[in-house]
Amino acid sequence: MLIDTDIINIALNAVFNGEYNSALLTYRLRLKSSSGLYESTIDFNTASNGVVQMSSPIYYAIPSGVTISGIIVFSYEDSTTLVDEDLTGKTFTTNGTYTVSSLSISLGV
């Protein structure tokens, strides 16, 4: 079966970029942590080849002693979770920065 990536791109752009839909949702990326709430809005580039990617890195200032153990991507308006991934825990022994440099979401069969 041949999947038309143009159709997939249309679907991704409708969901993540508000194309063909006036009700654009706000997507947030939340870090799972041992302390505090670390959350930022994500902007996405136009979908290509069945993949949509966040448009720029997100930087979080993390205090000493906090462990980051995963990420959650969700829609702010209705709290629908798109990604909920555990990561190898990283504990900050000094104040530092946690960078999410790329995030890709694909739609396919």
pLDDT at 32: 95
* 3-state SS class at 10: helix
Interatomic CA distance for residues 43 and 85, integer angstroms: 19
Enter the tokens of residue 21.
Answer: 């839909």
Better-scored residue on pLDDT, 7 or 46 = 46
pLDDT confidence bin for 77, thresholds 50/70/90: confident
pLDDT at 34: 93
Share of the chain above pLDDT 90, in %: 43
Better-scored residue on pLDDT, 56 or 9 = 56
Interatomic CA distance for residues 68 and 100, integer angstroms: 12
Q: What is the distance, to the nearest Å, from the Cα of residue 37 to the centroid of all Cα atoms in its chain?
A: 15
